[in-house]
Amino acid sequence: MIIEIDQNRLNGDIEALAAFSDAEAPAVTRVVFSEQDAKARACLKERCREAGLATREDAVGNTFARWVGTSAALPAVGTGSHVDAIPHAGKYDGVVGVLGGLEAIRALQRGGFRPERSIELVIFTSEEPTRFGIGCLGSRLMSGTLTPSAAAALQDPEGDTLEVVRKRAGFSGSLNEVRLPENYYSAWVELHIEQGPILEREGISLGLVTSIAAPASFRITIEGEGGHAGGRLMPGRRDALCAAAETILAVERIALGTGAIDTVGTVGICQVHPGAVNSIPSRVQLAVDLRDTDAARRDKVLREIEATCNEVGASRGVSIKLETINVDPPAQSSPRILAALTAACEHEGITFRTMVSRAYHDSSFIAQIAPIAMLFIPCRDGVSHRPDEYSSPEEISRGVQVLARTLASLSAGRES
Ligand SMILES: [Zn+2]
């Protein structure tokens, strides 16, 4: 079977979707359950219907568009990604996996293919944590990684709960029904931009993701004692920021200390109270992000950071409290799906290499309920989450080509 990707049409779809934005072009801002998000969803559903796919939505707005196979009762083959975009982002993050997935299906249809297993395109709700503070909301619920009651209680910056906001956006029904039944997918593949520089630098067309790093994030609150910066003498001070400085450097030292290239630790936020030049800092909040492809190694780093916090607290006479925000598992790709991707690349004569995803994706959570793999395409300078995020139509096309051939092989259909 010859698979021909309609590059112009796909590019047109990407441009059309980018117009649903609360930021001026080329920036894209599309926060979950906003008016622009609703318009983008409507546009996508229309295109799925045009392709003859049967669409449905669950109670949190995850959207499923199914090309029904000849053995419709068999577990399906899934593909897809997200279309929400953080403020002032670009057009490709997530979108390439959704519109690319759709074009892969259309290309197979044009090629006269008939899938045995159904092929299902998924548009996940809120992969980005912008509104509710937690990423991959839709896929966490689908996989049972997040309980419906915990999800319902999540609040946006306005203080509205997910329960209220989703219903206002037209998604009723019970969140209890979002979780997918066991054996729903026999295989899952997500196409995504790399969001890193490796493929472009090495001049390689595609990345086959063998594992997705396990993220953990937590908040550290340090309480010391404030006072007048002049009146209060140095001996006996309990300066919360000095304790924070030691803690930040400890995070760096401990993450480096594993000696593993895949261990990364970052303190991305440091809030100082009261934040005046003539006042000793009395309270500091730090936000820490830890990632690793090996969950045990990451958890060991977490415990070491905790122990160091206790030491710093004791030696400086301050209280240091550590609160977990999320601790997620790493995902390993399925050898069977990687083999299908490899065969597809070889068949199409497209260069590829294996790689690790250090960013997490909806596939991290789908991995809890199905065999998964991801396929990366290069993006210019490795830039993502910025208006100048860019992948060329040719690069996207190559990814879709391999995705289509992989979906064909995983769905075990035949040409008619
Ligand atoms: Zn993404």
Cα of 361 vs centre of ligand 1, distance in Å, is: 6
Centroid of ligand 1 to alpha carbon of 84 (angstroms): 8
List the structure tokens of 315: 């030696």
Q: What is the pLDDT of residue 415?
A: 66
What is the rounded CA–CA span in Å between residue 2 and residue 65? Answer: 24
- pLDDT tens digits for 240-291? 999 999 999 999 999 999 999 999 999 998 999 999 999 999 999 999 999 9
Is the pLDDT score of 416 beyond 60? no
Contacts of 173 (CB under 8 A, 6+ apart): 58, 59
Cα 237 to middle of ligand 1, angstroms: 45
CA distance 190 to 384: 17
Residues 6 or more apart in contact with residue 301 via CB below 8 angstroms? 254, 255, 258, 263, 265, 290, 292
Distance from residue 127's CA to the centre of ligand 1 (Å) = 7
- Going by C-beta distance under 8 Å and a sequence separation of 6 or more, which residues neighbour residue 152? 161, 162, 163, 175
**Spacing, Cα 67 to ligand 1 middle (Å):** 24
Q: Are the C-beta atoms of 190 and 362 separated by less than 8 Å?
A: yes
Mean pLDDT (whole number) for 369-393: 96
pLDDT for position 413: 73
Name the packing angle between helices 35-50 and 95-110 (round to 10°): 10
- Alpha carbon distances (Å) from 331 to 19, 104, 276: 34, 25, 44
Quote the ligand 1 centre to 212 CA distance (angstroms): 13
Looking at residue 200, its pLDDT comes to 97
Residue 227 pLDDT exceeds 80: yes
Task: Look at residue 186 in the predicted model and tell me its pLDDT.
Answer: 97
Residue 193 phi, psi dihedral angles, 5° rounding:
-75, 150
Which candidate, 107, 124, 128, places its Cα nearest to that of 188?
A: 124
pLDDT band with cut points at 50, 70 and 90 for residue 325: confident
- Which residue has 């092929």 as its token pair? 119
pLDDT at 246: 98
Cα–Cα distance, 291 to 359 (Å, whole number): 9
Q: What is the mean pLDDT of the chain?
A: 96
Ligand 1 centre distance from Cα of residue 233 (Å): 51
> How many angstroms separate the alpha carbon of residue 305 from the centre of ligand 1?
29
DSSP strands (E only) in 263-328: 264-273, 279-280, 283-292, 319-327
Interval between CA 390 and ligand 1 midpoint (Å): 13
- How many CB atoms are located within 10 Å of the residue 157 CB? 9
Contact status, residue 279 vs residue 291, Cβ threshold 8 Å:
no
Q: How many helices (H) and strands (E) does the chain have?
A: 12, 19
Do residues 260 and 266 lie in contact, with contact meaning Cβ atoms separated by under 8 Å? no
**Model confidence band, residue 214 (pLDDT cutoffs 50, 70, 90):** confident
Contacts of 73 (CB under 8 A, 6+ apart): none
Q: Say how many Å lie between the CA of residue 192 and the centre of ligand 1.
A: 7
Span 67-105, pLDDT tens digits: 999 999 999 999 999 999 999 999 999 999 999 999 999
If pLDDT is split at 50, 70 and 90, which confidence band does 4 have? very high
- 122 C-alpha to center of ligand 1: Å? 13
Q: For residue 267, how far is its CA from the centre of ligand 1 (angstroms)?
A: 22
Mean pLDDT across the stretch 295-312? 96
Backbone angles phi, psi at 300, to 5 degrees: -65, -40
148-203 pLDDT, tens digit per residue, is: 999 999 999 999 999 999 999 999 999 999 999 989 999 999 999 999 999 999 99
Q: What is the mean pLDDT of residues 56-61?
A: 98
Tracing tokens 């969803």 back to the chain, one arrives at 41
CB 69 within 8 A of CB 413: yes
277 alpha carbon – ligand 1 mean position (Å): 40
Q: What angle do CA 13, 18, 20 make, to 5 degrees?
A: 110
Q: Ligand 1 centroid vs 196 CA: distance in angstroms?
A: 12
> Ligand 1: distance of its center to the CA of 95 in Å?
8
Q: How far is the CA of 406 from the centre of ligand 1 (A)?
A: 21
The DSSP bridge partners found for residue 120 are: 66, 78
Averaged pLDDT, 324-328: 88
Alpha carbons 416 and 245: distance in angstroms, whole number: 66
How far apart are the CA of 82 and the centre of ligand 1, in A?
6
Taking the CA of residue 108 as centre, how many other CA atoms within 13 Å lie in the half-sphere pointing to its CB? Answer: 32
